[in-house]
Structure 1
Amino acid sequence: MMRSDEASSRRDLMAYDAVAKFFHWLVVVLIAAQFVIGWTMPDIHKDTRPDGLIAWHLGVGATLIAVVVLRIVWRFTHRPTPAALSPVLSVVSHITHGLLYVALVVVPVLGWANASSRGWSVRLLGLLPYPAIAQTGSPTGHAMGDIHGVLAWVLFALIALHVAAALFHRFVLRDRIVQRMLP
């Protein structure tokens, strides 16, 4: 017969299903690609064309939007088993995850608005066009590009906090929280 703490530990490890884990790690890969592309692509000016790394940034961003939407839908329809955390860590975890989800939606949507204001096409997998969400030449749409850049750094900070928390759980608290999302 299994002891109750062993059963709880096993339940915590099975908290996220394979689909949730897939979406999590796919978002990690897409975000990593976006940051690398974003840091290495040329600056965008008035007459910049969406070629090369800029086109890649748009394509990965379009994919990221679709995957994050699917991830959010999955998360709301497939709630994981709550982790056994202290009340303080539980609140901090919920706030951090909430901010991550908001940033994962807002940052790419702002980039999409900026691309729309430049008359650039945003396409999922290079095929399915997304509708323009800002008029071509829109000063607001152009400003969204600046906000996109700033909030990308906020997203980066949130990701760093998320990774630091995972390392804290693994090496300081020595609990099994990190294993819940490992493949």
Structure 2
Amino acid sequence: MRSDEAGFPRYAASYDGMAKFLHWLVVILIAAQFVIGWTMPDIHKGTLPTGLIAWHLGVGAALIAAVVVRIVWRLTHPPAPASLSPLLGVVSRITHALLYVALVAVPLLGWANASSRGWSVKLFGLLPYPGLSPTGSPVGHAMGDIHGVLAWVLFALIGLHIAGALFHRFVLKDQVLQRMLP
């Protein structure tokens, strides 16, 4: 194992196969959600959950399940720590914590909004999730607006996460990015 000038090892142990699978599954689901979200029609009073809106609800239900499994896996199978400088370690922990918070909050807010509209959120179109807010709830409706704003925050955090991975690969030339690659 080689070290850089500061003495930090240039090689970091890889994530396990399940962690990689869940990471890339969430990436695919988030990408699908952003595409569907950008192309689906605006939601107004009386809008029915059909077409792209139904797809958004279905992919969102799958995303919630995947994120829950990913968090449980992460808590029960912690990865080997990357060898980072103290500053990069703090930035990494903060960025990852914010990503997890947004990955939980954005779908939950969308689910609460769907519930307030009387829409059913189902995993794979079969397993119904319970309502998070009563039908007609003004708070549930407001959650839809917050959902939209936080989706952009999540998008920015994902951009920061990607920039960090590329920084490790092309500037620091360490193995941090390779930890999550298949």
TM-score by length of 1: 0.94
- In the TM superposition, what is the alpha-carbon distance from 1:13 to its structure 2 partner? 3.5
Q: Distance in 2 between matches of 1:4 and 1:105?
A: 38
Q: Which residues of 2 match residues 47-86 of structure 1 at below 5 A?
A: 47-86=46-85
Q: Which has the higher helix share?
A: 1
Q: Which residues of 2 match residues 8-157 of structure 1 at below 5 A?
A: 12-14=12-14, 16-157=15-156
The 3-state SS of whatever aligns with 1:164 is helix
Q: Distance in 2 between matches of 1:21 and 1:116?
A: 32
Structure 1 segments of 4+ aligned residues over 2 angstroms from their partners: none
- In the TM superposition, what is the alpha-carbon distance from 1:163 to its structure 2 partner? 0.3
Unaligned runs of 5+ in 1: none
Q: Distance in 1 between matches of 2:26 and 2:141?
A: 26
Identity, % of aligned positions: 76
TM-score by length of 2: 0.95
Q: Distance in 2 between matches of 1:103 and 1:60?
A: 16
- Check conservation: 1:114, 1:141, Cα contact below 8 A: yes
Q: Distance in 2 between matches of 1:168 and 1:51?
A: 42
Aligned length: 177
- Check conservation: 1:135, 1:141, Cα contact below 8 A: yes
Match of 1:30, as an amino acid?
L
Could you say what the CA RMSD is over the residues aligned between the two structures, in angstroms? 1.1
Match of 1:54, as an amino acid?
I
Paired position in structure 1 for 2:6? none
